Amino acid sequence: MQLHFVLPGLLWPEKLRHEAVADLALPALAWLLGHARLTWQAPRTLEASLCQIMGCGEDTEPPAFAALRRLGEQQDAETHDWLCADPVHLALEKRRITLDESCPPASDEELQAIAAALQQLLHEEAALAQTLGIQAFHPGQNGRGYLQLARAPDMQSTPPSAASGFESMQPQGREALPWRRFLNHAQMRLHALPCNQQRLARHQPPLNSLWLWGAGKLPASQPGAPYTMLHGDHPLLAGLARWAQIRHANTRPASAAAFFNAPAHGTLLLLDQLHAAARQYDMLQWREQMLALERHWLQPLQQACAQGRLQQLRITAPGDDHCLDIHLQRSSRWQLWRRPRTLQQLPWPP
């Protein structure tokens, strides 16, 4: 049995690392870290890590996230360039503009209203739309949206999972200025929508902006996917599974024990319960989630490794400063000279 877990949120910035894990008893994690081969890599977003693991978009930088996500929702992703255009709420906090990740997503009715307003905008600003190659706005699933493009834009953007400040929310690159102009027009249209007034009446944040990110065209599918099954509810996983022509389960088992009762081979699973707390620097919530992760996932995995029931275990922990790859093989259990080591004891790169 070969298992690969993606664990965003495990690695904290250096200035907060000691406080985050102080007095936190994580013996299973310490055993895994002590017996594993550790490889430090350059920082990567969660989305980039998932694509890199699946071998998707290795020839493009960054990968075409929008086309992959669209593929998981629809069947028309192969024929165009796509750009994620997700309705979001940008909040002003302590004189900083931030992404409100707790904002309820657009309902189907709200998304249809947003689509109609943006289609009208594209009609009225036809010259700008033509300059940017925007052909249409398409509603997606669960409050997400897409811009269908005639060509790949000369513009870079950041996935929402890696947003760190106002500039990271803005289009960058040679075509940044016209894209920012389009974004300003879109924000004014969203502000005037009746559905946003209704959200305010329900004490919900209005959807006052679009998050533009992940532009590109779907790469050609390649045979020989490294996994036969993907688990997790991240919207990119369904597209990656369809691109690789393998199975995908949108739900996640309650614990690692579920994998030891089935002949699973080559399984990739996203464990993202630490991610939100780490991004919000909510140390108390992160510590609670870390203890639950230790109990339900890391302890069964450590026992399976120690008993030789796992042929291979790999854990990828993407972070803002580094990405850590933790790799154990069945023979790792016989390396008796190795001792457990905590997150604080890791040989952190400079």
| Residues 50 and 136 reside in one and the same domain | no
For 224, the token pair is 């020989």
| Residues 225 and 212 reside in one and the same domain | no
Q: Which pLDDT does position 310 carry in this prediction?
A: 83
- CA dist., res. 60 & res. 52, Å (int): 11
Residue 284 placed within a domain: yes
Amino acid code (one letter) for 279: R
Residue 99 placed within a domain: yes
Contact 133, 68 (CB under 8 A): no
Q: What is the number of domains present in the chain? A: 2
CATH code, 273: 3.40.720.10
| Residues 309 and 205 reside in one and the same domain | no
Summarised one tens digit per residue, pLDDT across range 306-337 is: 888 888 899 999 988 899 999 998 877 777 76
| Residues 213 and 246 reside in one and the same domain | no
| Residues 89 and 183 reside in one and the same domain | yes
28-37, 95-104, 188-197, range with the lowest pLDDT: 95-104
> Which one of 155, 183, 217 terminates a domain?
217
| Residues 180 and 109 reside in one and the same domain | yes
| Residues 226 and 327 reside in one and the same domain | yes
Residue 115 placed within a domain: yes
62: cis peptide before it, omega within 30°?
yes
> In which domain, by residue range, is 81 found?
65-217
Give long-range contacts, CB 8 A cutoff, 24+ apart: 129-134.
Answer: 129/182, 131/178, 132/175, 132/178, 132/179, 132/182, 133/81, 134/182
> Which one of 174, 191, 217 terminates a domain?
217
Q: Which pLDDT does position 59 carry in this prediction?
A: 57
DSSP reduced 3-state for 134: strand
What crossing angle do the helices spanning 283-293 and 14-21 adopt, rounded to 10°? 60
Summarised one tens digit per residue, pLDDT across range 106-157 is: 999 999 999 999 999 999 999 999 999 999 999 999 999 999 999 999 998 8
DSSP reduced 3-state for 138: strand
| Residues 193 and 204 reside in one and the same domain | yes
- CA dist., res. 135 & res. 129, Å (int): 7
In which residue are the tokens 């690789």 written? 244
> Which one of 217, 249, 276 terminates a domain?
217
Indicate the average pLDDT of the chain: 90
Q: Which pLDDT does position 187 carry in this prediction?
A: 96
| Residues 205 and 243 reside in one and the same domain | no
- CA dist., res. 204 & res. 209, Å (int): 15
Residue 329 placed within a domain: yes
| Residues 185 and 301 reside in one and the same domain | no
pLDDT at residue 166 tops 60: yes
Residue 251 placed within a domain: yes
Q: Which pLDDT does position 262 carry in this prediction?
A: 55
